[in-house]
Structure 1
Amino acid sequence: MIEDLEKTTRNAIIWNALDKVSNQVISIVIGIILARILNSSDYGLIGMLAIFVAIANSCIDSGFSSALVRKQNPTEADYNTVFYCNLLISFIIYILLFLGAPNIASFFDQPILIPLSRSLFCIFLINALGLIQTAYLVKEIQFRKVTIINFLSLFISGLTALYHALHNYGAWALVAQMLSQSVSKTILLWIIGKWHPKAIFSIKSFRELFAFGSNILLANILNSIFLNIYSAFIGRLYGKTSLGFYTQAAKWADMGISTLYGTIQNATYTVFSAIQNEKERLVKAYRDTMKLTAFITFPSLLCFILISKPFVLIFLSEKWTESIIYLQLLCAAGIFTVFTTINGNYIKISGHSHLVLRLEVIKIGLIFIAIFLTWHMGMLHMVISLVIVRIIVYILSIIIIGEKVDYPWYTQLKDIFPYLSVGVILFLTSLSFTIFISNIYFLGIIQIGFFFTSYYSIFRYMDRHYLLFN
């Protein structure tokens, strides 16, 4: 029944939303305190390692988790085979990066990166121990347990980071934060999660899951490069201080962006995988999801662009003023990232994982072209080029979907246009308040209040179906 699907989807989204929101509340509080204690160079050092962390995490997962969740009835052999594969891959990656730490430090001309990276890269070994437990809970739609685990591990890591920051450990405080989060999350997954490994390994399971997961693996690696390549280039070209401003902006932008698409993506991938062979039902469910995504995404990120300056100056302090313009640009880029990610999710569910890989290859090509054309113009122009690339990538994603599945590009644009048009109008209207209001505290409050009250009221007045699943 469609109603059962909608109920399951909504419950999953609600728990995912609770997970994301509660985690973001802690992240915001901890992030604000850390930003006021630490300096730009501390964040810059960690930003230099971001691309290695992202790529390694993609390799460790190997696309197996997506394959497990997508598979209709995964066996115990499937889960155990993936567990041992992930563990072996994580060990190999850690050894390679441990040995390569001096080269990383030499590339960025930062000797401190040798001990920093070798310590931070331990998270690969730790995370590999909990990947399958997470996939199992997601497959069983046990998002309540996932929410509890994520909340507790983030809370523990936040306290750990604050302790080290207050005792003048600098960048090591951020390393301690990530390590403690991985350790506590993995321990909780083993305690709360129902799945534990057994001495089972199946070549058949490996081949079956890797056949689908291999495309996802390559796509995830390329996407990690796409999302983090700017940090590597900025760190190499402009140094750790400039990278610190970009990293701080990216952190806050990503916090909002990942909350938006993560909440919907995690819930819908599991639910929609169960109806992947029912084409009409899948398309309708996905159209409803895109509308919900648009309804939430446009006001959230447009409003964040509006209040970026008051937010940074009030909460992070004036020492982060240089981050404001990057935060605004990355939020703008994030709007298109959200929809591109959801579209990629839909392509995977439809069984066209090779198209996800093709799109990632195109993205990498575009990003290197953008960097080549703008690196000599300065850091700001490089970030602007990132926004342009993400717009192009979104357009390509809806074209690909229109060609391969029954969701034409013009239908998707029609689905999201009402939310986009109202959001842009309210954004421009709220932006005009800066002419009359100079107090940044009052300005931020008025802009937020006006934007969200007007946005909700307009759609409630126009037609109630814009606020709900059809």
Structure 2
Amino acid sequence: MGLRHQALKGGFIMLIRQGLGILLSLVGVILITRVIGPTEYGLFGASSGIVIFFYRLAPSGLDAYLLRKKTNPEQHEYNQVFTLLLCINIICVVGLVLGRQMIAQLLRLPEVAPLVGILALTIPLSTLNLPWVVKLERDLNYQRIAYIELLSQISYYLVAVPLALHGYGAWSPVLGLFTQQACQLSLNYFSSKLRLRLSWNPDLIRTMLEYGLSYASSIWIWELRTLVNPVIVGRFAGAEAVAFVALCIRLVEMLSFAKTVTWRLAMVALPKLGDDKTRIRKSIQEGMRLQVLAVGLPMAGFSLVAPVVLTLVFGKNWYPVLQVLPFIAVSYLSHAIFNLHRSVLYLECKNLLVTWFHLVHIAIFAGSAFLLVPRLGMIGYGWAEICALASYFILHLYTVREVGSLNYTEPLVWYMISVAVLIFSAFSGSVRYLSCLLLLLPLTSTKERNSLVGYFKILKS
């Protein structure tokens, strides 16, 4: 099986798993948010936003070291990564537990202090999974990954939903998340032949950290995005505004699950292309097209029914989410197009270029939010997302310099149509629903129809 065929096949398996996960998440999120209400969900969103930032710092690029290695990692390398992750996790957990009161004071939300303390314990449960997940991804065993992730997600709702119904408020998703991460760690351990133990090799540690930290430093800057909602929106607009933005982000992330799948596939598949610039360039162009299809169409479709869904399913208290939905959806769709650009720059060891892009993006995004949220409320967060789109031009220039000129024609067609539907979704009446016809326009092209049929054949094979 060719690399392209194998990567697409694995990607489709992950997409199906993510699609099932979305249905499950939607039911669970509906029950939890409707029962505990905006204020309690806002407390969870603020505390989890802080902890997620540290969770994403913890791997320190060690997963990238294992994934990007041109030869298969040896047992002692997995052991060393496991040991380093354990040490880093201890530092993160202790720091969060001791600093939880300071964090609560910074956010002006004293209720988040105990939530942060418990959520900190999910960090080691999450990151210690990485050696097992990397092993499965290097083997392109996405079927087993999908199975484990789906079972773990089910465990979250089996705990969170009953607790919410029994009045545990913000604690219900907190304890559900703890259960999910513990379940995933257990399943990875018992379903894998990889057995890890402690190891300490100074030379290997130096090699891993030299690569990992150069990669991770750019990721750490990007993850500052997760702090904008709890810190800026929470401080200037309150817990309910945090809840509305957090729910909107959660919905958009569920709808843009293909972005994560593509990133994970690219981390494994792109290094196997070597220095073939032509194949890399073609992979980026096809990836952009697939990203827009898999991210733009679900978001555009959801935006048309969002008023009905939010009112009837989540409750009238959550209707303000509609104010920021189009802004955040456009932001995530734009990021999806440039997802592979970053992967290629990492492949070419141009980590510093990615870091510069992240710095510019965060400066525009956080700076705009700091100026706009105090004046416009949570809608200022949405406009800050739009302002930050200008930074992607820098990423485009860096990528073109490395692999040559890129053709955006095909993905741009689907992108513009998806954005148009998102804009029309803000209107009322027939204009909103007739805009869905725009999604059918590209299918008038024989080339587009043949491409979609080709992807379907790969899925069936």
When normalised by structure 1's length, the TM-score is 0.90
Pick which of 300-309 and 230-239 moved more: 300-309
Amino acid at match of 2:277: K
1:416 aligns with 2:411: yes
Shift of the alpha carbon at 1:353?
1.8
- 1:27 aligned residue: 25
Check whether the contact 2:323–2:379 (CA below 8 A) recurs between aligned residues: no
Shift of the alpha carbon at 1:18?
1.8
Amino acid at match of 1:87: L
- Aligned equivalents of 2:422 and 2:165: distance in 1? 39
Given the superposition, is the C-alpha separation of residues 227 and 340 from structure 1 closer, same or farther in structure 2, using an over 3 Å criterion? Answer: farther
Deviations 1:230-257 (A, max 9, x none): 3321111121122112212121112212
Check whether the contact 1:301–1:332 (CA below 8 A) recurs between aligned residues: no
Shift of the alpha carbon at 1:161?
0.3
- Aligned equivalents of 1:252 and 1:157: distance in 2? 17
Check whether the contact 1:16–1:264 (CA below 8 A) recurs between aligned residues: no
Given the superposition, is the C-alpha separation of residues 42 and 430 from structure 1 closer, same or farther in structure 2, using an over 3 Å criterion? Answer: closer
- Aligned equivalents of 1:147 and 1:462: distance in 2? 29
* Partner-residue secondary structure (3-state), 2:320: helix
| Equivalences for residues 92-131 of structure 1 within 5 A | 92-131=91-130
Check whether the contact 2:281–2:404 (CA below 8 A) recurs between aligned residues: yes
- 1:48 aligned residue: 46
- Aligned equivalents of 1:189 and 1:254: distance in 2? 24
- 1:440 aligned residue: none
Shift of the alpha carbon at 1:14?
1.2
Given the superposition, is the C-alpha separation of residues 97 and 401 from structure 1 closer, same or farther in structure 2, using an over 3 Å criterion? Answer: same
% same residue: 17
Shift of the alpha carbon at 1:25?
1.4
Structure 1 counterpart of 2:330, from 326, 329, 332 = 332
Check whether the contact 1:333–1:387 (CA below 8 A) recurs between aligned residues: yes
Deviations 1:193-228 (A, max 9, x none): 232213433223222222221122112211111233
- Aligned equivalents of 1:16 and 1:462: distance in 2? 23
1:192 aligns with 2:182: no
Cα RMSD for the two superposed structures: 2.5
Shift of the alpha carbon at 1:154?
0.4
- 2:372 aligned residue: 374
- 2:159 aligned residue: 160
- Aligned equivalents of 1:424 and 1:92: distance in 2? 43
Shift of the alpha carbon at 1:328?
2.3
Check whether the contact 1:43–1:244 (CA below 8 A) recurs between aligned residues: yes
Given the superposition, is the C-alpha separation of residues 416 and 45 from structure 1 closer, same or farther in structure 2, using an over 3 Å criterion? Answer: same
Deviations 1:253-301 (A, max 9, x none): 12212x0201222123211122233332222222221222223333232
Shift of the alpha carbon at 1:58?
2.1
Pick which of 36-45 and 245-254 moved more: 245-254
- 2:168 aligned residue: 169
- Aligned equivalents of 2:33 and 2:113: distance in 1? 24
Gaps of 5+ in 2: none
- Aligned equivalents of 1:94 and 1:35: distance in 2? 27
- Aligned equivalents of 1:297 and 1:459: distance in 2? 20
Pick which of 292-301 and 260-269 moved more: 292-301
Check whether the contact 1:308–1:328 (CA below 8 A) recurs between aligned residues: no
Shift of the alpha carbon at 1:153?
0.5
Given the superposition, is the C-alpha separation of residues 193 and 458 from structure 1 closer, same or farther in structure 2, using an over 3 Å criterion? Answer: farther
Check whether the contact 2:284–2:340 (CA below 8 A) recurs between aligned residues: no
Check whether the contact 2:292–2:336 (CA below 8 A) recurs between aligned residues: no
Check whether the contact 2:104–2:111 (CA below 8 A) recurs between aligned residues: yes
* Partner-residue secondary structure (3-state), 1:241: helix
- 1:458 aligned residue: 444
Pick which of 309-318 and 27-36 moved more: 309-318
Check whether the contact 1:215–1:356 (CA below 8 A) recurs between aligned residues: no
Given the superposition, is the C-alpha separation of residues 430 and 100 from structure 1 closer, same or farther in structure 2, using an over 3 Å criterion? Answer: closer
| Equivalences for residues 10-25 of structure 1 within 5 A | 10-25=8-23
Pick which of 209-218 and 156-165 moved more: 209-218
- Aligned equivalents of 2:418 and 2:114: distance in 1? 47
Amino acid at match of 1:457: L
Deviations 1:58-77 (A, max 9, x none): 22111110121010122222
Given the superposition, is the C-alpha separation of residues 466 and 222 from structure 1 closer, same or farther in structure 2, using an over 3 Å criterion? Answer: same
Check whether the contact 1:261–1:342 (CA below 8 A) recurs between aligned residues: no
- Aligned equivalents of 1:60 and 1:69: distance in 2? 16
Structure 2 counterpart of 1:278, from 252, 276, 279 = 276
- 2:403 aligned residue: 406
When normalised by structure 2's length, the TM-score is 0.91
Amino acid at match of 2:32: L
Amino acid at match of 2:318: W
Check whether the contact 2:132–2:189 (CA below 8 A) recurs between aligned residues: yes
Shift of the alpha carbon at 1:84?
0.5
Structure 2 counterpart of 1:435, from 404, 414, 429 = 429
Structure 2 counterpart of 1:309, from 291, 307, 324 = 307
Amino acid at match of 1:292: L
Check whether the contact 1:81–1:202 (CA below 8 A) recurs between aligned residues: yes
Gaps of 5+ in 1: 438-442
Check whether the contact 1:50–1:228 (CA below 8 A) recurs between aligned residues: no
Shift of the alpha carbon at 1:83?
0.8
Given the superposition, is the C-alpha separation of residues 348 and 317 from structure 1 closer, same or farther in structure 2, using an over 3 Å criterion? Answer: same
Shift of the alpha carbon at 1:422?
4.3
- Aligned equivalents of 2:140 and 2:441: distance in 1? 32
- Aligned equivalents of 1:43 and 1:250: distance in 2? 13
Pick which of 203-212 and 61-70 moved more: 203-212
